């Protein structure tokens, strides 16, 4: 298992991000099964007092009698998270002693990918497509990014064999990527996101579904205009205003939820992690 961490750290160095092995947690329980959790700061367990014991990945590894690889990338994009998964699965193929491997992907919000060129080269997409400034351009950008994630997830499946089961969920956002993954074998697509699970458990109304929630992701989305050399922001503002209204509603819900901390991207508390772990576990054990 040390070889996997070594491969992951070396890949990060090659990608120009040395020293970021802090995102990697490995629990060697000497088990025959393995849980791999991939996500952003919510998967990392940000804000938890006892992160390594309270994060949902640790709970899942206990439920499934498994070792654990937990890779949480705070603030990073889905494409970057999935590239980490590709490195792990490629390394695992060299010496895979496990009888069952559960790969858990908890997706985060869109637009972060615009500034993570090593995993999604937005500048190349602009060069290749020469996009025209229209009212549909910004929807096309986000849709293209989701299509990229879909291809990455398919690649993860292609790197695996029948011992692997994949679970794909989402944290405080919702993406139409689900429509593109429904026919991939050995992939569980859950029909609720993390905060909807929390809402149901607390008897709260479910929050509105949207794909961008945090201010820094809207700022990153705005950077697309710079990379496209676009100075007319009329269409961008028109497109973003309804998204901002939805983001405000989600943030209001997070403020009302006792299971979410009131800082940063309002991460779940320990009980919130337990509920997400339970949801994933039931999805896995009931998968045919």
Smallest CA-to-CA distance from 63 within 211, 283, 288 is with: 283
Can you list the domains of the chain with their CATH numbers? Answer: 2-285 (3.40.50)
In this prediction, residue 20 has a pLDDT band, given cuts at 50, 70 and 90, of low
pLDDT in tens, 135-161: 899 999 999 999 999 999 999 999 999
Helix (H) or strand (E) holding 105: strand 100-107
Average pLDDT of the segment spanning 24-47: 91
What pLDDT, on the 0 to 100 scale, is given for residue 208? 98
**Total Cβ atoms within 10 A of residue 75:** 17
Least confident among 17-26, 116-125, 142-151, 271-280 = 17-26
Write the DSSP assignment of 175-196 as a string of letters: -TTHHHHTTSTTEEE-SS-HHH
Write the CB contacts of 82 (distance below 8 Å, at least 6 apart in sequence).
Answer: 38, 105, 119, 149, 152, 153, 156
Kindly tell me if the per-residue pLDDT of 9 is higher than 80: no
Least confident among 22-26, 58-62, 73-77, 233-237 = 22-26
**From CA 23, how far away is CA 4, in angstroms rounded?**
13
pLDDT in tens, 232-281: 999 999 999 999 999 999 999 999 999 999 988 899 999 999 999 999 99
**Total Cβ atoms within 10 A of residue 130:** 7
Beta bridge partners of 105: 38, 168
In this prediction, residue 97 has a pLDDT band, given cuts at 50, 70 and 90, of confident
Average pLDDT of the segment spanning 6-33: 74
Count, in order, helices (H) and strands (E) of the chain.
12, 6
What pLDDT, on the 0 to 100 scale, is given for residue 21? 46
Kindly tell me if the per-residue pLDDT of 18 is higher than 90: no
Average pLDDT of the segment spanning 93-120: 92
**From CA 47, how far away is CA 38, in angstroms rounded?**
17
Cross-sheet strand order for the sheet of 24-27: 24-27, 66-72, 33-39, 100-107, 164-170, 187-189
Tokens of residue 213, six digits: 């929630």
Kindly tell me if the per-residue pLDDT of 96 is higher than 80: no
Torsion of CA 231, 209, 253, 58, to 10 degrees: -110
Kindly tell me if the per-residue pLDDT of 30 is higher than 80: yes
pTM score: 0.94
Torsion of CA 261, 60, 104, 71, to 10 degrees: 60
**From CA 145, how far away is CA 111, in angstroms rounded?**
8
pLDDT in tens, 163-210: 999 999 999 999 987 666 767 889 999 999 999 999 999 999 999 999
Contact call for residues 134 and 239 (beta carbons, < 8 A): no
**From CA 99, how far away is CA 228, in angstroms rounded?**
48
In this prediction, residue 17 has a pLDDT band, given cuts at 50, 70 and 90, of low
Average pLDDT of the segment spanning 113-124: 93
Smallest CA-to-CA distance from 32 within 67, 69, 68 is with: 67
In this prediction, residue 288 has a pLDDT band, given cuts at 50, 70 and 90, of low
What percent of the chain shows pLDDT beyond 70? 95
Contact call for residues 152 and 86 (beta carbons, < 8 A): yes
**From CA 233, how far away is CA 222, in angstroms rounded?**
9
């Amino acid at each position: 298992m040390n070889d996997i961490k070594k491969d992951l750290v070396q890949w990060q160095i090659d990608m120009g991000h040395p020293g970021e092995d802090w995102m990697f947690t490995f629990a060697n329980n000497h088990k025959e099964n393995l849980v791999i959790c991939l996500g952003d700061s919510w998967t990392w367990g940000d804000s938890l007092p006892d992160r390594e014991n309270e994060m949902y990945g640790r709970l899942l590894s206990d439920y499934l009698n498994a070792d654990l690889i937990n890779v949480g990338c705070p603030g990073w994009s889905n494409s970057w998270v999935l590239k980490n998964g590709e490195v792990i699965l490629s390394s695992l193929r060299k010496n895979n002693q496990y009888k069952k491997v559960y790969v858990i992907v908890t997706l985060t919000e869109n637009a972060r990918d615009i500034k993570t060129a090593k995993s999604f080269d937005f500048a190349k997409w602009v060069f290749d497509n020469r996009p025209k400034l229209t009212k549909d351009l910004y929807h096309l950008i986000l849709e293209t990014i989701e299509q990229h994630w879909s291809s990455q997830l398919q690649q993860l499946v292609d790197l695996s064999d029948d011992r692997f089961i994949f679970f794909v969920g989402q944290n405080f956002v919702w993406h139409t990527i689900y429509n593109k993954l429904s026919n991939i074998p050995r992939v569980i697509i859950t029909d609720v996101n993390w905060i909807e699970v929390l809402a149901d458990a607390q008897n709260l109304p479910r929050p509105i579904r949207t794909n961008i929630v945090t201010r820094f992701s809207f700022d990153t989305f705005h950077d697309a205009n710079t990379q496209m050399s676009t100075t007319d922001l009329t269409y961008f503002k028109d497109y973003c205003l309804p998204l901002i209204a939805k983001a405000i509603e989600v943030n209001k819900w997070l403020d009302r939820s006792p299971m979410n901390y009131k800082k940063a991207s309002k991460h779940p508390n320990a009980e919130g992690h337990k509920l997400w772990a339970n949801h994933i576990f039931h999805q896995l054990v009931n998968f045919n």
